[in-house]
Amino acid sequence: MVKLLEPQTMLKDRYKIAGPIGQGGMGAVYRAEDTLLPGRICAVKEISPDPDIEPEMLTQLQEQFRQEASVLARLDHPNLPKVSDYFTHSGREYLVMDFVPGHDLRELIDDALKENRFIEEAQVLDWADQLCSALAYLHEQTPPILHRDIKPSNIKLTPTGLIKLVDFGLVKLLTSDEARTVTVVQGQGTAAYTPLEQYGGDDTHTDIRSDIYSLGATLYHLLTGRSPMTARERFLRPEALVFPRTINPAISPGVEHAILRALALHPDRRPATMTAFQTMLHQAGAPAQIAPLLLGLREWRGALRANLALIAIAGILMLLALIITP
């Protein structure tokens, strides 16, 4: 674990550290005062590369961090915190963003569980609309930007009711040169919200549908009070995923259907874009009784395609048996 900066530490002769907001394996986030703009409070994200990394690789990663940070600094969307600065200090990389007040959605889930209730679907759909808007905006950039760590604890509800997707820590630019997209700010995400293609550090198959999976898992958690089974466990045991309406019958069948589509293990079975997913959330969709059948039919079609040769041989053998049987 990286040693935290002490309170009152000055960064870049401008940002006075007040204290940590959170900490992870690759760094920390601090609340800080911008001394050049009295009264402005900001969030400073610190990213610490592996101390054993080769100097040449470290230089490459730092350069790419600066390139990606410059892209983030150009973003402007009401549901994203504004990145206002980035710099290197004592071998660590820093992003300076708006400080977002309020509670994260994981805290709101925990509060609902303590009160033995579910968060209202209408409220969750309002949050989903704001998140879809922010993520569609990221995905429409040139090159597209993936967030890669969407989860309730990375989403804040401000006192005004505005949702903010606060953590850019795992951002990835989709470029034609995939070998150059692995950076010091990248990681694997959080298991319950991570699609199968994002496991193991192999990013050659991740695209905007990876964020759709993570948002689907987040909405599942918000509506049911529990996170879904991990993609890895579902790959080994497809029946492990409990359907949302089994836990919370108040969920609309169409909303359940949209979430299940977003949680498809194969990217091709998910909605193609955030806008398509948002539209699906507001449509009637498939009735709850039909949704499991639809998913089951997809699995059966996959199994039939994979075993077509064996099925053909079995059919021939059955035909021969009928011919030679007196």
Q: Tell me: do 240 and 111 sit in the same domain.
A: yes
322 lies in a domain?
Answer: no
Domain of 83, in residue numbers: 10-98
Q: Tell me: do 75 and 127 sit in the same domain.
A: no
Q: Tell me: do 94 and 114 sit in the same domain.
A: no
Q: Are 291 and 145 in contact (CB under 8 A)?
A: no
236 exposure class (CB count in 10 Å sphere: 0-12, 13-18, 19+):
exposed
314 lies in a domain?
Answer: no
For residue 5, give both structure tokens.
Answer: 């900066």
318 lies in a domain?
Answer: no
189 exposure class (CB count in 10 Å sphere: 0-12, 13-18, 19+):
buried
Which CATH number does the domain housing residue 74 bear?
3.30.200.20
Separation between Cα atoms, residue 63 and residue 68, nearest integer Å: 9
| Higher pLDDT, residue 71 or 276 | 276
Q: Are 281 and 258 in contact (CB under 8 A)?
A: yes
For residue 120, give both structure tokens.
Answer: 């209202």
For residue 89, give both structure tokens.
Answer: 């200090």
Q: Tell me: do 211 and 255 sit in the same domain.
A: yes
pTM of the model: 0.79
Q: Tell me: do 158 and 71 sit in the same domain.
A: no
5 lies in a domain?
Answer: no
Q: Are 95 and 28 in contact (CB under 8 A)?
A: no
Number of domains present in the structure of the chain: 2
Separation between Cα atoms, residue 137 and residue 80, nearest integer Å: 10
Phi/psi at 83 (nearest 5 deg)? Answer: -85, 120
Question: Last residue of some domain: 48, 74, 98?
Answer: 98
248 lies in a domain?
Answer: yes
301 lies in a domain?
Answer: no
114 lies in a domain?
Answer: yes
237 lies in a domain?
Answer: yes
What 3-state class would DSSP assign to 145? Answer: strand
Question: How many Cα atoms sit within 13 Å of 212 on the Cβ side?
Answer: 30
For residue 306, give both structure tokens.
Answer: 């994979």
Phi/psi at 248 (nearest 5 deg)? Answer: -130, 95
pLDDT at residue number 204: 60
Q: Tell me: do 87 and 191 sit in the same domain.
A: no
Question: Last residue of some domain: 46, 77, 98?
Answer: 98
pLDDT digits (tens, 9 = 90+) for 93-145: 899 999 999 999 999 999 999 999 999 999 999 999 999 999 999 999 888 88
Q: Tell me: do 110 and 89 sit in the same domain.
A: no
214's CB contacts (< 8 A; 6+ apart) are 147, 148, 149, 150, 151, 189, 193, 194, 195
Q: Are 36 and 24 in contact (CB under 8 A)?
A: no
Q: Tell me: do 217 and 115 sit in the same domain.
A: yes
Q: Tell me: do 149 and 76 sit in the same domain.
A: no
pLDDT at residue number 201: 58
Question: Last residue of some domain: 66, 98, 130?
Answer: 98
**Average pLDDT of the residues of the chain:** 83
Q: What is the mean pLDDT of residues 162-185?
A: 56
What 3-state class would DSSP assign to 287? Answer: coil
Q: Are 150 and 33 in contact (CB under 8 A)?
A: no
Q: Tell me: do 268 and 182 sit in the same domain.
A: yes
Q: Tell me: do 66 and 177 sit in the same domain.
A: no
Separation between Cα atoms, residue 104 and residue 119, nearest integer Å: 14
Instruction: Catalogue the active-site residues.
Output: 149
Residue 178 pLDDT greater than 70, yes or no: no
Residue 266 pLDDT greater than 70, yes or no: yes
Residue 25 pLDDT greater than 70, yes or no: no
Question: Which of 74, 118, 59, 133 lies closest to 246, judged by CA?
Answer: 118
pLDDT at residue number 244: 97
- Asked whether the CA dihedral 9, 13, 16, 17 is positive or negative, the reply is negative
| Higher pLDDT, residue 224 or 203 | 224
Q: What percent of the chain is modeled with pLDDT above 90?
A: 56
Return the number of other C-beta atoms located less than 10 Å from residue 320's C-beta. 10
Q: Tell me: do 27 and 174 sit in the same domain.
A: no
Most confident of 29-38, 139-148, 198-207, 284-293: 29-38
Q: What is the mean pLDDT of residues 38-46?
A: 93
Which CATH number does the domain housing residue 266 bear?
1.10.510.10
